[in-house]
Amino acid sequence: MTPSRLGLLAISSVLFSATVPLLSQELNSTFARDPGQPVDRQYTDQILKYTTDPSFISPLVDYLPASKTVPTPAKVLGDISGAPDMLPYAEDVYRYFRLLEAGSPRVKVFTIGHSEEGREMIAAAIADPKLLDGAKGNDARLAQLADPRMIGLDDAKARQIVDQSWPVYYITGTIHSPETGAPTALMELAYRLAVDDAPYIKYIRSHMIVLITPVVEVDGRDRMVDIYKWHKAHPGGDWPHLLYWGHYVAHDNNRDAMAMTLELTRNVLNTYLAWHAQVLHDLHESVPFLYDNTVGDGPYNAWADPMLADEWAELGWNNVAQMQNFGMPGVFTHGDFDTWSPGYLMFLAGMHNGISRLYETFGNGGADTEKRILRPEDYSRTWYRQNPPLPVVTWSQRDNNNYEESALLSTLSYFSQNTHHFLENFYRKSKRAVEKPSLEGPAAYVIPADPADANRQIELLKVLKRQHVEIEQLSDSITSTVPAEKRGDKPKQETFPAGSIVVRMDQPYSRVADALLDRQFWAAGDPQKHPYDDTGWSFTHLFNLKVVRVLDPAILKSKMTALADPATLAGNVSGSGPVLAVANTSQVALLPLVYRLKSATIQVAEKSFDADGKHFAAGSLLIATSPGDGIAKVLHDLSLDASRLGAAPSVPVHAATAPRIAFMHTWLGTQTEGWWRYAFDTTGVPFDYISTQTVANQPDLRAKYDVIIFAPVGRSSALEILNGIPLWNNPMPWQKSELTPNLGALDSTSDIRPGLGYEGLAHLKQFVERGGLLITCEDTAQFAIDTGLAPGVSVAPQGEARVVGTVLNTVFVARDHPVAFGYGPGVPVISANGMAFNVSNTLGRTGGRVLMDPLTDPLDPYAKRATGRGSVDDSDEPQGRKITEPEPLVKQQPWEPKPLDEEQTRNNPQVIPVPERPDVILRFSDAKTLLLDGLLDKPSSIAEHAVVVNAHLGQGNVLLFGNNPVYRGETVGTYPLVFNAILNYQHLAHQSAPPGKEAPVHQALPGRDFP
């Protein structure tokens, strides 16, 4: 698009005239224009031309004010904001904002950080120069409202500050890259705020600061623009869907507000808090025509201040009423988005005493003007949507921009008229957050000092730091009263050693710490039947930590000091001697250590041992050291404690090599596996990144790799993984080209359509049979089962069980299995939908029960006994003949395979040879203790069933996860299940394999004189 396009366009084709006075304009003086306002005629004509229906525009945006000095978005775009067939790159958007800054004293633009791929993120502050020049002083005042401890919680002082201060309203655009409209809407919005002299706009910019980040997911935006350009250059063809949005994840970038793993989340929160803003308003596009989900639906987050819910209602209903007043159809604020999980970007505000808001407008996934056919649930009239969207429309990007801008301008106007009210609320919410210990409580969370947990404690504390939560450390040991686990039980006394971590609740950001560390309960009978996202997330559980919720406020008087750097909690080396022992306590850094010390000789202890006054669990590492090898620094970097021993302990060991890992991804979806890449990158475990197409073309995978990770694709079937995308139409490249400079950085292909194929499947099978380890999870575990890579494993029928992103309790079945190294009796897992496995000693369609008649209770053979003498566990005895004892019936546990007797194994080719029978490593707890956090209903069909299984094929192994052990940066407690498997990939033979089949046991490291 060249900048001259606008001038070339004929202006005669306008659909309707801007001079026709709109009824609402006449009646509603709130948004009256300045009578002397010059109008940019040409730009205005284009607005009207691209608006497909007169009801899709408001009097707020049906003209563009003209300025002699300030350039309009057309200067950069070559056409107006929302024009068809054109999407600007992030840098074009930034160029415009910087031109705006150069042209207007009412705009300041600054960098707020960079993405994973190094692209810049910006924010623009817009207000009168008086406000911008005084922003520093204003911010110092807002800081006192944000942290009322600074003014001694004194309401009178707060009142003075409120009277002197301007609020900050932060708007963020296009976090979801296929939702393309926000950047141009925000360019034009910024121009209007800077230039328009309508009284209501003058009021906005003289009473508040509007902060705008036009592009949140900047890596994804540039790739989306590439794809759109490719689509425009190939008319009539299919174009590739957006595979990589951000570097790691796609849609889930809006689920990162808890763990804060992504740069975009950190940059937005840091900006939001640095400005002490009152609102974070995030723009999305997936619902016709404008769902202001500010009000949303229940259940509401249980840790939010109730005032927030009132603010949602106030702003949401007001905004809808304004839009109704403009005559714009399809605007509503109640809807099917529940406000339970605090994982959404906007919720950074909700959990930091601000106001979270989100618009869903209607986007076309690009700038094509399209006929859109709505579904009945979208266009039906209901109590909260009396003027629903039209069932069939011609919809343009300009329509979308009109809705976004009109709604934002009207809500900014409302906010500017009520700045005192919202600043007062901001102060009150902050104050109540500080008063939490004396109001609802708790007083604090305590993380008891424990070297075994330190590595994972540090990971949790890093999250809390990113959330700007203050963390302290006990100077002396203290004893506190802690509540009993069950209601009605007596409280207990608990002693916390010196050095224990205290997260005080008398701090401004207590709510976010409370929401992350507490437990969640979603009632099975809750009227909300469709949770929008995960129902449970307790970081206490997901990081596999002990964290104590303390109600007794006495703890706050204990001596404690601020903990500046959590990394100081670990990384210490004690003792002396040439052998370094690193205990396996299911830390995330044990596998990374092996890669960092690639040249060192490292062994894995196969049994536990005691040395240096400490207990070392099976799976601990023994490292031969020499002076000056720099190991101490590596241990410090990785937050791992270690003991120097004079001699190697007498314990069976095997060598720990650094396995060669490949991540295999599909071209169907790269998000869920992206979280795995994130975990491996950030902990420091290297891997090759290959696609199913690479595997299809690589005959000898085993020569290159020891471990292949096939992380979840996300609800894909085996057929989809094998077949890929149908080949009926045109090829769809994902690669760098002149037209698409931002594609192909992570991986590339000339055509994303072909899948793994049967050739690829054969290569994968051969890889395992030759001793490789294939790691699968959720849909890829199902794939392994469906394609015969996991003999004896099937997915347990779900029955009526209901699980929606729930944290569940588990029990290790094989505690001495290498995958369980370093763990206690169980570990909390997050389960998307309750996926569990059945295992069998035979092959068969339903987990190998083909040999048996159906039973009323398939696990209880006695349920089948016939009427007769004796008890239920007895056998009947026919009269008048000698008694023949039947073969004893074995009661099988839900996680166990059905034992086979002689009769069943005779001439039965379906029987799996013993070394190839699957091992159950981890199972769900019983129904009573299964639930930790979230929603669990009717769990009997999945309770006690296997959730992590190691299947055997040839010389190798296929590890299957029903839970996702590497998820959203939240499951640090289960990363080591994967890492243990990788580290011990050559030692995963069947548990009851006959002697000789096991991998050889090596001699432990000699105490001295090590080569």
CB 736 within 8 A of CB 675: no
Interface contacts to Zn ion, rule CB under 5 A = 176, 179, 284
Cβ closest to Zn ion, residue 293 vs residue 558? 293
Q: Do 114 and 120 form a contact (C-beta atoms < 8 A)?
A: yes
Report the residue number, 226 or 360, with the smaller CB distance to Zn ion: 360
| Least distance from Zn ion to the Cβ atom of residue 404, Å | 13
Cβ proximity to Zn ion: between 176 and 372 the closer is: 176
For Zn ion, the closer of residues 179 and 404 by Cβ is 179
Q: Are strands 209-213 and 120-126 parallel, antiparallel or unpaired?
A: antiparallel
Cα 973–chain centre separation: 15
CA–CA dist 642, 795 (Å, integer): 41
Report yes or no: 329 and 288 within 8 Å, Cβ to Cβ. no
Residue nearer to Zn ion on the CB measure, 284 or 763: 284
For residues 446 and 473, give the distance between their C-alpha atoms in angstroms, rounded to a whole number. Answer: 9
Tokens of 405: 């801008």
Q: How far is the CB of 179 from Zn ion (least distance, A)?
A: 5
Q: What is the 3-state secondary structure (H, E, C) of 868-924?
A: CCCCCCCCCCCCCCCCCCCCCCCCCCCCCCCCCCHHHHCCCCCECCHHHCCEEEEEE
Cα 48 from Cα 986, distance rounded (Å)? 68
Q: Of 276, 277, 231, 220, which Cα lies nearest the Cα of 253?
A: 220
H, E, C per residue of 801-839: CEECCEEECEEECCCCCHHHCCCCCCCCEEECCCCCEEE
Coil, helix or strand at residue 320: helix
C-beta of residue 747 within 8 angstroms of C-beta of residue 735: no
CA distance 642 to 581: 6
Residue 382 CB coordination number (10 Å) = 11
CB of 525 to Zn ion, least distance (A): 30
> 185: exposed, middle or buried (C-beta count within 10 Å: 0-12, 13-18, 19+)?
buried
CB of 176 to Zn ion, least distance (A): 3
CB of 328 to Zn ion, least distance (A): 21
Residue with tokens 């295999």: 664
CB nearer to Zn ion: give 176 or 223: 176
Angstrom distance (rounded) from CA 188 to CA 406: 11
The radius of gyration of the chain from alpha carbons, rounded to an integer in Å, stands at 31
Record the tokens describing residue 903, joined without a space. Answer: 């009769």
Per-residue CA distances from 465 to 111, 146, 265, 352, 812 (Å): 22, 17, 13, 13, 32
Closer CB to Zn ion, residue 79 or residue 179? 179
* Choice between 669 and 939, CB closer to Zn ion: 669
On whether the CB atoms of residues 958 and 853 are closer than 8 A, the answer is: no
Run of H or E residues at 403: helix 397-417
CA dihedral (349, 351, 357, 362) positive or negative: positive
DSSP state of 254: G
Cβ at position 286, least distance to Zn ion in Å: 5
**What's the min distance (Å) between Cβ of 400 and Zn ion?**
13
For residue 284, the minimal CB distance to Zn ion (Å) is: 3
CB-wise, 172 or 558, nearer to Zn ion? 172
182-195 vs 199-207: helix axis angle to the nearest 10? 100
Compute the distance between CA of residue 294 and CA of residue 292 in angstroms, rounded to an integer.
Answer: 5
Nearer to Zn ion, 178 or 733 (CB): 178
CA 479 to chain centre: 37
Torsion of CA 37, 42, 43, 49, to 10 degrees: 120
Nearer to Zn ion, 106 or 284 (CB): 284
Residue 358 vs 433, nearer CB to Zn ion: 358
Nearer to Zn ion, 115 or 838 (CB): 115
State the minimum distance, in angstroms, from the CB of residue 175 to Zn ion.
7
How far from the centroid of its chain's Cα atoms is residue 125's Cα? 29
- Looking at the Cβ atoms of 228 and 359, the one nearer to Zn ion is 359
Q: Nearest approach, Cβ of 251 to Zn ion (angstroms)?
A: 7
Please report how close the Cβ of residue 530 comes to Zn ion at its closest, in angstroms: 17
Q: How far is the CB of 283 from Zn ion (least distance, A)?
A: 8
Q: Report the C-alpha gap between 173 and 212 in whole angstroms.
A: 8
For Zn ion, which is the closer residue by CB, 282 or 305? 282
Distances (CA, A) of 257 to 66, 345, 615, 679, 849: 40, 5, 38, 17, 45
Shortest separation between residue 397's beta carbon and Zn ion, angstroms = 16
Q: In angstroms, rounded to a whole number, what is the distance separating the alpha carbons of residues 244 and 254?
A: 14
To Zn ion, the closest distance from the beta carbon of 171 in angstroms equals 15
The least distance separating Zn ion from the CB of residue 308, rounded to whole angstroms, comes to 21
Shortest Å distance, C-beta 369 to Zn ion: 21
